[in-house]
Structure 1
Amino acid sequence: MVPSPVTAHQGLREATIRRAALLAELKQLADTGRGIECIPLLVDRADRDKAILALHVWQADQAIFGSSHARACKHLAQTCDWCGTRPKHSYGTLTVGWLLDARTNGARLLAWLTALAADPMIAAWAPEPPDPYR
């Protein structure tokens, strides 16, 4: 049985509202000094609500870290380079579902978090260069 167009549209609308509510919650946590809770919350919600898997990663980056669309896409480009992947379209189309894909065993999530940590606009951390004398 095929759902009616009205029912399908209603489901899409409800999923969009849940994604928007999560983005607002992530932004509020980040703005109130509780940003450390944002990534675990995002992963937990994606596990419990499949609609969150369709959330674009750049939107989460923007809500949590205040990144522009271009800077968030730069983080995703670095993530793809490190993981040896290329998106079918643009970096802006990558979703939380892509980021958390279980087939990568967390490699994409780790690469994205490392790209965020290496951005001087977000964190003052830089990876140590290799020591040739070790």
Structure 2
Amino acid sequence: YKSTGKTISYLQKKASDSNAKFNYQITGLQRNRENLYQRINLRVDKMFKDGFIEEVKMLRDMGYKEDLNSMQGLGYKQTNKHLNGIYTIEKAIDLIKIETRHYAKRQMTWFKNKIKNIEWIDLDKCSENEVISKIFPPL
């Protein structure tokens, strides 16, 4: 207000009104559930192969406590429980995969319920070049 003399509500309304002047398309990328879940499982396996346990140990050694929000994220919470002897490594990995799949499902539900007019592109049915041309059509 001090720099413009306008209230925040006025500036927000003006900004939202000006957005209507632009032509835009919202594009979402999706995969079939089986393929998505397989990719999630492979990604979690790769995280552990690439040293995720060592990363969590290093953070703990640096003083990051398990109750921090950042240590409650997917993977960190379960790995801490493994390091504390609560979970076997297999159980921790399985839970990370399950919870990541649940998170992916919640994301899709959120997008489908909150954002209308999304043009969905099925990544399982399009080549990389087709995806690029759908997102960035020639002028």
Same fold (TM over 0.5): no
Indicate the structure with greater helix content.
1
Q: Using CA pairs below 8 Å that are at least 6 residues apart, which structure has the higher relative contact order?
A: 2
TM-score calculated relative to the size of structure 2? 0.28
TM-score of the aligned structures, taking structure 1 as reference length: 0.28
Compare CA radii of gyration and give the structure with the larger one.
Answer: 2
